[in-house]
């Protein structure tokens, strides 16, 4: 029997990567961006479920504006929290599997070591709180679900840290990048592969899934700029120097255990993932 996938948030980096891969593999895919389905509308969600009868729902829709969420709480909560509650109920009602993505920002960054799935969340920002509320709804109301925390996602189709750094480097001779935010860069193509490998196990639950290893924003920027031959000056900075509204965790790297053992497969290192994406952008080694 052909598996029918419903992708929500199909216009974003991760949604696009899922759509491309699944369609290339010949799966039946219904891909809905915000223009087609506003996930914050219960009626819109119910209509798309009734029309498509999905077997697997991949929720890539999210409110990701970390700083704006400090003053747009209702919007952040609607997309990251309430919509997840409705998806948990609808997938249960329709007998579908739900894949939902959360973030390293549900942690406060004070542990000093990569976070395990058993560690208790303690978000610092309203964005992180909205994502944690979505997690809590899913765990309370969901049936067959994969709750996947990931971090620092990048890939084709949307602005991300790599494309921002390249744009800044094209405009300036000096860049200031923070050293006190450390986490795991994650390439959408690898995240898709890891998710589908996990789906094939039928082992529902909460997981962490990122590229292997971790780095600071500064170290990542330096790696990117070295690969493209930038001749400017990269200056270490602190988060406090920028006066952003939302606090960020200082060390929010995620530990992928037990996935390497469960899947007999490991996500590639973040350096390899970065090189492959730069090659996609036309930067040869």
Q: What is the pLDDT of residues 73-107, one digit of tens each?
A: 999 999 999 999 999 999 999 999 999 999 999 99
| CA proximity to 128, closest of 194, 183, 188 | 183
Tell me what percent of the residues of the chain surpass a pLDDT of 70. Answer: 99
Q: Is the pLDDT of residue 281 over 80?
A: yes
Percentage, residues of the chain above pLDDT 90:
96
Rounded CA-CA distance 2/142 in Å is 24
> Which contacts qualify for 47-52: CB closer than 8 Å, 24 or more apart?
48/6, 49/6, 49/90, 49/93, 49/94, 49/96, 52/4, 52/6
Please provide the average confidence, as pLDDT, over all residues in the chain: 96
Q: What is the pTM of this model?
A: 0.96
Q: For the chain, what percentages of helix, strand and coil (3-state, to nearest 5) are there? A: 45, 20, 40
Residue 277, CB-side half-sphere exposure with 13 Å CA sphere? 30
| Mean pLDDT in residue range 57-77 | 97
Q: Is residue 14 part of a domain?
A: yes
Q: How far apart are the first and last CA of the chain?
A: 43
Sign for the pseudo-dihedral over CA of 100, 105, 109, 113? positive
- Angle formed by the axes of helices 270-280 and 161-171, nearest 10°: 60
278: nearest Cα among 191, 120, 134, 154: 154
- Check 105, 127, 207, 214 and give the catalytic one: 127
pLDDT exceeds cutoff 70 at 269: yes
Q: Identify the DSSP state of 21.
A: H
Distance CA 103, CA 75 (A): 17
Asked whether residue 29 is assigned to any structural domain, the reply reads: yes
- Look up residue 36 and give its two tokens: 């087609």
Token pair recorded at residue 256? 């992928």
Average confidence (pLDDT) over 252-272: 98
Asked if residue 135 belongs to a domain, the reply is yes
In a domain, 111, yes or no: yes
Question: Is 195 part of a structural domain of the chain?
Answer: yes
Q: Which long-range contacts (CB under 8 A, 24 or more apart) does 71-77 make?
A: 71/245, 73/126, 73/130, 75/40, 76/126, 76/127, 76/130, 77/130, 77/133
Let me know: does 73 contact 130? Beta carbons within 8 Å. yes
Q: What's the CATH number where 198 sits?
A: 3.40.50.720
pLDDT for residue 284: 72
Catalytic annotation on 127?
yes
Q: Is residue 179 part of a domain?
A: no
Total structural domains within the chain: 1
pLDDT at 158: 77
Query: Residue 1's pLDDT is what?
Result: 60
Q: Is the pLDDT of residue 132 over 70?
A: yes
Quote the domain boundaries for residue 152.
4-158+187-212+255-268
**What burial letters (b/e) apply to 236-256, b meaning 16+ CB within 10 Å?**
ebebeeeeeebbbbbbbbbbb
Residues 147-180 have pLDDT tens digits of 999 999 999 987 899 999 999 999 999 999 999 9
Averaged pLDDT for residues 223-231: 95
Residue 141 lies in a domain: yes
- Structural domain includes residue 221: no
């Amino acid at each position: 029997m052909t598996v029918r996938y419903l992708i929500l948030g199909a216009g974003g980096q991760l949604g696009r990567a899922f759509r491309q891969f699944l369609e290339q593999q010949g799966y039946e895919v219904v891909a809905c961006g915000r223009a087609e389905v506003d996930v914050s509308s219960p009626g819109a969600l119910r209509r798309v479920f009734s029309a498509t009868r999905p077997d697997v729902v991949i929720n890539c829709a999210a409110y990701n504006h970390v700083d704006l969420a400090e003053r747009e709480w209702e919007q952040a909560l609607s997309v990251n929290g309430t919509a997840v509650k409705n998806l948990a109920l609808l997938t249960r009602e329709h007998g579908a599997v739900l894949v939902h993505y959360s973030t390293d920002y549900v942690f406060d960054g004070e542990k000093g070591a990569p976070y395990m799935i058993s560690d208790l969340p303690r978000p610092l920002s309203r964005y992180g709180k909205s994502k944690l509320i979505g997690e809590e709804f899913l765990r309370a109301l969901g049936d067959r679900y994969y709750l996947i925390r990931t971090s620092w996602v990048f890939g084709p189709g949307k602005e991300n840290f790599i494309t921002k750094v390249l744009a800044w480097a094209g405009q300036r001779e000096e860049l200031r990048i923070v050293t006190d935010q450390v986490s795991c860069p994650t390439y959408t193509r690898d995240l898709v592969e890891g998710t589908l490998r996990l789906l094939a196990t039928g082992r529902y639950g909460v997981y962490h899934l990122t590229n292997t290893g971790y780095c600071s924003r500064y170290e990542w920027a330096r790696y990117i700029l070295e690969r493209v031959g930038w001749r400017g000056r990269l200056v270490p900075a602190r988060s406090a120097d920028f006066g952003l509204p939302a606090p960020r965790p200082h060390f929010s790297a995620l530990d992928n255990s037990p996935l390497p053992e469960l899947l007999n497969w490991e996500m590639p290192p973040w350096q390899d993932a970065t090189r492959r994406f730069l090659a996609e952008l036309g930067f040869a080694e």
